[in-house]
Each structure stands twice: as structure tokens, then as C-alpha cells.
Structure 1
Amino acid sequence: MNFKISFLLLSVVGIMDSQLLYAQTISKEELTFLTSEWKGERFPDGRPKVAESLLERAKKVGIADAWTVLKNEGYTNQYEGNWKTVNDETPVVGRAVTAQFMPSRPDVEKSIVDRGQKVQGRKGASNSWPIDVLTKGDVYVADGFGKINGGTLMGATLANSIFNKSGNGVVFNAAVRDLEEIQTIKGFNAFVRDWHPSFLEGSVLMGLNTPIRMGNVMVMPGDLVIAKREGVLFIPAHLAEQVISTCEFVTRKDKFGFEMIKAGKYSAGQIDSQWNDQLKNDFLKWLGTHPEMGTMTKAEVDKVMSKRTW
């Protein structure tokens, strides 16, 4: 009997500890379930870990090409536009760390802050907590419910902290302050709804590395973020390699096509339709004379041409 009571007590304590551990987050098991199409490496919390090599390749991918691949795979709600940026030249590319902010109410915010600081050992206000979990290559993606006045999720101090932790920028459905100071952080960029001189108030963190909404997009932790001048694309982790490889082929195909059309060897119609073996072989020969464009085997060309989602 005593053994049963002890077992029950330990079970209750275990459940309570688990609830505290996952406060503002979801469990590793739940995140793994929601991103079950991803078969690669994961972070300890279950977030998909897209390889660094893919992140580097993604920096050269065009938004339009990648969007087209996603659309033809059935992913039609992955793009969000209408942003303001620190500059137009610096892309923000990396794995999403997500944060969900909501309008604050005193009782809920007090409970969250007390638990975070006293039980979980978190420091400062809740808007700084997502920064603590950033690693190199991450992009801090936050839904601040579009709040501008009083909705500044970041100023110069937090921007420096974010860049120091991730080497990357942010995407905020909210505002940011201290634009002139942030512009001095070389290599940093922010995609935000607007700039405002106010301090953050009336917002509380309700989700950390959980599914969030960014405009018309459902963003999952670990999604590949590609943010460039024309907008932001959120690519599901399990499609990252396919999207990047296809976009790289499209770039090669376009350059090859321009040269072949100019030389009068092939017409635009031939370049833009399914290729026969002769055209594929000519492409591979051309690729061999352009090492800067990378390499492909005939099998790889056959594969990308057989499922033409671009």
C-alpha cells in the first residue's frame, strides 16, 4: 500500500515538473508529432534542425522560385509580405524560433512571470525569453498581434543580444524601436510591421517554440525562413532540401537556356518544356564548363525534370 502511495506521489510530482518544464512551450513529443514529416536531426526540444549547409545554399534562393515549388506541392499559405526592414540588402535566412505574444491581462502575466523567474530561472521580461534559446543560424520569429504603439518587441539592446546569439535577424509581426542604432549592427536585419519610439507594454509571451500565425502563414518551429526585399517565405523543414535543390536547378536551367537561345541552338519553347535526352546531355556538358554553377548527374536531372514543380 505504501509503495502504491509513493508511486502515485512520484507520478503527480512528475506531471507537475513536466508542466513547469513545458511552460510557454509544447513537449518534445508534441513538436515531433506536429513536424513528423521531418526525418532529420532535431534539437533537444524536438525542433527540426535544418543543416547549416542548406542554410548557406538557401541564401541564394529566389523567393518567387521557392514559392512556386511550395505552391505546386500544395503549400499555398507560406508567404507574407508588406514589411519594413533595417536595410534592403541583407537577407535573413535560418531556422525559425517562434514566439507568440498576446494582449496582456494582469493575472495571467503575473503568473507567467512569477513561474518563469522563480521556477524556471528565467531573467527579465518575457519578451527576452525567446532570445535565451537562440542558437547560431536561428531566426527569431514573433507574432506580436500587429501591435505598433507599445508593441516594440525589440530595441537596440535586444537587437545586439539577438545578433550575438544567432548571428541572424528577426521577423516580427509587431514594431521595433531604435532604428538608427540598430542600423549600426553590421550584418543584422529586421523584418517588422513598423518602427515606433514607444517601449513594449501590454503584451505577454504565451507561446515559445509553438505553432504561430504570421499574417496568412502557419509557422512551425524549425521552418526554414527566407526573408528578402520582396517578402518572407516560411518553408517546412522537410521540404527545405527539395525546394533549394529545385531552385538551384531553375537558376542553372535559366542561364543555360539564355545561352542556348542566344546561340540559336534551342528555342525558348524547347528550353521551357520537358527535355529529351539530347537536351539533357547538352545541359550536363554546359554545366561541366561552368563549375561556379555546381554539379549534377544525369539521374539528378531526370529526377528534377520528372516532377516539375516549378
Structure 2
Amino acid sequence: MIRNIITIIVCGFFATTLTAQSVTATSEYIKELTSNWKGERFEDGRPKVSDALLKRLQSVNIEEAWGFLRGKGYHNQYDGNWKMVHEDGVMTGRVVTAQYMPLRPDFEKVIKLKGAEEKRDTIGGSNSWPIETLKPGDVYVADGYGRIIDGTLIGSNLGNAIYANSKNGVIFDAGVRDLAGLKEIEGFQGWFRGDDPSYLQQEMLTSINAPIRIGRAIVLPGDIVLANSYGVVFIPAYLMSDLVISSEVTNLRDQFGFQRLKEKKYTAGQIDTQWTKDIKNDFVNWLDNYPDTKLPMSRSELNAYLKSHGY
């Protein structure tokens, strides 16, 4: 009797879970995925990293971001070998994820039904659905399993829609078409695997704001992306503040070191190894004379960082 009751409860749980599945991840699920973030969030549950911090991230070196993340135990956040809409582009933003798979009719039917329940346009292509969710500062990141021919997720029409909603761009492990038209969208940025005149076919959207894989990187909704000509890095939102100021202080250390080497005050060996207490004190005194207007962070942020790192 007890066994039968347990079986009924378990089956009921799984039936409820399957019924509750949707194309777009719930805010509760996204909050669980990003539980280390303690700040403000969007309605969909994604961390709301400030625009000011996103702007500061644009000056961070890809290698510095990669090294910082590896030091925190995140070894799978970078991917390279991209084509770009604008070769000199730099983009930062909050990630909205989408996953695509080869078309399977029975699965596609379920996706369409779930999309209708979410009040999405089921007449047009489902590749427009993630675009409808974008907010200013978002980056549309899609796992298109590297497909280029017949795997072009957007052309210039959807590119214009993306930029209208996000004022940002895309990172596609997939193809694009009408690259000439995409290049004409002022301010639009894009990283992709290749371009082709074919349109999207025999492919379907399967999820929005679920975890995805982009090349060798794992990406969660609400991650922060740093993308430039050297590759893309996906940063857990809760590490953003520490990563940015750490990189900024590293840059200040480099400026100090270059200056002191030119002055021949220290040898290259002294600067390249762990600094002595005297060099650290010299660095702090050098910072005291650094103009506040040229600091990338506030003076209070800088002082707090130095104190917490033994300066």
C-alpha cells in the first residue's frame, strides 16, 4: 500500500514537471543557476549588472579576464576563432541564451505549442523568439552547433530587430546571411562562425535562457560577455566587479612598473616577481599622485581593493 502511494506521488511529480516545461526558462530556475549573485535582477531572473560596470569591462584585456576566471576555478569560459561583423569591434553585455537543434517534427510541434502558451508568434520562424526578450545591454548568444549552410540564424532584417531591442549584438556558434546588410547597421556587433546566402532550414529553436555550450565554453543566462577580435569570454555575473577592478589595478601596476623601469629605479627582475614591501609602498605613493579623473574606478574603490590585497 505504502509503495503504491509513493509510486503515485513520484509519477505525479514527473507529470507535473513535464507539464511545466516551457521554451523559456522560468525566473526561479535562472535564480537557482545564478544564486551567487546577490544584487538586482531583471523580471526574467537574470542578474542586472550595471551599465557602468559593462562599460568599464570594455577596457579589460581578454587574457586578463581569462586568467582571472581560471584563478577562480572557471576553466571553460573562453572560445576563439570567430568571424566578426566589424573587425575592430568590442562588445560587452548581459547574456540571453538560445539553443538550436536539427529539426525533428514531433519535437518541433511541442515547441510550437509551448511557444503559443508563452504568447509567442507561431506563424513566423521561432528564431525571432529570443529577439523579443532582449533589453538594452543584452547580447543574444546562440548555440547553433556550428552550422553555417542552412544554419543562418539571422539576416539584416532580424539584425535590425536585435539592435533596436538591445542596442548591442550577437554571438552565434552558427552562421549569418546578408553580411553586407548587417555591416550597415550602425552600432550592431556580431561574432559568428561563417556567412552564407542560404536561409535557416531543417533547424529549430529548443530553449531560451537555458545553459548552452558555445564552442569550448559553457554559458548561463545572465552571464556577462566580453568580446573583441581576440575571442569571447563569458563571465559569471557575481565575479564581474572583482574581475573588472582586478584588471584595472593590474593596468595601473603596469603603468607604474614601466615608468620605474624607464627611470631605472628597479630592475626588470624586481618588477616581474612578487613585489617587496618597499615597492608596494612606492606604488601606493605613486597612486596618491595619480589624477582622480584618469582613474577607471573611484578612489574609494581603489583604496578598498589595495587594503584587501595587502598594500
TM-score class normalised by the smaller sequence: 0.7 to 0.9
Q: Is the 8 A contact 1:177 1:195 kept in 2?
A: yes
Please name the residue that 2:128 is paired with: 128
The CA deviation at 1:273 is 3.2
For residues 130-149 of structure 1, the aligned pairs below 5 Å read 130-149=130-149
> For residue 56 of structure 1, what is the aligned residue in structure 2?
55
Which amino acid in the other structure matches residue 261 of structure 1? L
Cα distance in 2 for residues equivalent to 1:305 and 1:65: 21
Q: What are the ranges of 5 or more consecutive residues in structure 2 without an aligned counterpart?
A: 1-11
Equivalence for 2:81: 82
Q: Give the Å deviation of 1:297.
A: 4.5
**1 CA distance for matches of 2:186 and 2:226?**
19
Task: Note the C-alpha offset of 1:28.
Answer: 2.1
Q: Which residue of 1 aligns with 2:98?
A: 99
Q: Deviations for 1:213-237, whole angstroms, at most 9, x for unmatched residues?
A: 1111110001110011010001111
SS at match of 1:190: strand
Counterpart of 1:241 in 2: which secondary structure?
A: helix
Residue 110 (structure 2) aligns with: 111
Tell me the equivalent position of 1:3. Answer: none
- Of stretches 40-49 and 202-211 in structure 1, the one that deviates more from structure 2 is 40-49
> What is the Cα deviation at residue 266 of structure 1?
2.1
Query: Cα offset for 1:188?
Result: 1.2
User: Quick check: 1:274 aligned with 2:274?
Assistant: yes
Distance 1:297 1:113, change over 3 A: closer
Matching residue of 1:164:
164
> What TM-score, normalized by structure 2, do the two folds share?
0.87
Once residues 52 and 59 of structure 1 are traced to their aligned partners in structure 2, the CA distance between those partners, rounded to angstroms, is 11
Query: TM-score, length-normalised on structure 1?
Result: 0.88
- Residue equivalent to 1:30: 29
For structure 1, the 5+ residue unaligned runs are 1-11
Confirm or deny that 1:293 pairs with 2:286: no
Separation of aligned partners in 1, 2:302 and 2:98: 41
Residue type of the alignment partner of 2:51: E
Aligned-pair distance for 1:80? 0.4
What is the 5 A alignment of 1:6-21? 19=19
| Deviation of 1:185 (Å) | 1.1
Deviations 1:16-46 (A, max 9, x none): 79956x6112222222122111111111221
Q: Distance in 2 between matches of 1:251 and 1:69?
A: 14
C-alpha deviation, 1:278, in angstroms = 3.4
Seen in structure 2, the aligned counterparts of structure 1 residues 265 and 53 have a Cα distance that, compared at 3 Å, is same
1:265 to partner: Cα distance: 1.6
Identical aligned residues as a percent = 46
Between the two proteins, the alignment pairs up a number of residues equal to: 291
Tell me the residue number matched to 2:246. Answer: 246
What corresponds to 1:199 in structure 2? Answer: 199
Task: State the secondary structure of the residue aligned to 1:102.
Answer: strand
Structure 1 CA distance for aligned equivalents of residues 102 and 310 of structure 2? 49
Deviation string, structure 1 residues 195-248 (Cα, Å, up to 9, x no partner): 010011111111100100111111000111001101000111111111111111
Q: Is the 8 A contact 1:274 1:305 kept in 2?
A: no
8 Å contact 2:131–2:162 — kept in the other structure? yes
User: Any idea what SS the aligned residue of 2:160 has?
Assistant: helix
Residue aligning to 2:9: none
